[in-house]
């Protein structure tokens, strides 16, 4: 819910503070909006997110006995929860591969690797394209594998193709050549020696 329009690092810090504060439905409901805002700031649209979190917690308490819904449709009815989060939630919380959670990293990497037949202009199109050929038993792990890869190697700007073990399989990476302007860092020189 917090990850929309927020860098992964910022989201991680906010979630760490929330967990330390006590991340239960009742505890969140008992927390003032001001304090909740302090805990999640500086996530994107944090003031709106406070409202979504509070409203969602109330729904979870009233309709789901302080648990989470067990279907994608029910999850998507919660404020601030879209298909990506619903599929990830189904995969992680219930162990049900009902769909692939496609975020910005998965969307970008699949496009670069040519894993979609045609140009997919949005994550939902990428999800449908992936699900058309990727075996269902890989649906749960594909998100976390590609997210980590996208955070560390296959960056949106300046991908580290020179460090990528998949370089020869990738249409972008296979065209990569070392920059004559860049010098090897002292750390890399030390490791090579």
Nearest to 124 by CA among 149, 139, 103, 138: 103
Burial class from Cβ neighbours inside 10 Å (0-12, 13-18, 19+) for residue 91 reads: buried
**Cα Rg of the chain, angstroms:** 20
* Helix H or strand E segment including 18: helix 8-21
Taking CA atoms, 182 is separated from 178, 179, 185, 193, in Å, by: 8, 5, 9, 18
- Find all residues with CB under 8 Å of 32, minimum gap 6, and list them: none
Choosing from 7, 54, 77, 84, the catalytic residue is 84
Active site residue 84: yes
Q: How many helices (H) does the chain have, and how many strands (E)?
A: 10, 0
Rounded to whole angstroms, the Cα distance separating 155 from 63 reads: 40
Whether 50 and 40 have beta carbons less than 8 Å apart is answered as: yes
Show which residues are catalytic. Answer: 84
């Amino acid at each position: 819910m917090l990850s929309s329009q927020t860098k992964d690092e910022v989201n991680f810090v906010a979630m760490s503070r929330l967990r330390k504060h006590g991340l239960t439905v009742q505890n969140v409901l008992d927390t003032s909006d001001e304090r909740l805002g302090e805990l999640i700031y500086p996530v994107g649209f944090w003031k709106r997110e406070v409202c979504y979190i509070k409203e969602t917690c109330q729904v979870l308490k009233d309709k789901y006995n302080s648990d989470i819904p067990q279907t994608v449709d029910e999850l998507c009815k919660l404020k601030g929860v879209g298909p990506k989060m619903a599929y990830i939630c189904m995969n992680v919380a219930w162990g049900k591969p009902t769909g692939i959670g496609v975020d910005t990293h998965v969307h970008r990497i699949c496009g670069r690797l040519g894993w979609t037949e045609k140009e997919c202009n949005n994550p939902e199109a990428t999800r449908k394209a992936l699900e058309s050929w990727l075996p269902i038993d890989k649906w749960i792990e594909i998100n976390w594998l590609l997210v980590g890869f996208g955070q560390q190697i296959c960056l949106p700007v300046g991908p580290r193709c020179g460090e990528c073990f998949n370089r020869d399989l990738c249409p972008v990476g296979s065209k990569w050549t070392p920059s004559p302007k860049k010098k090897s860092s002292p750390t890399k020189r030390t490791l090579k020696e």
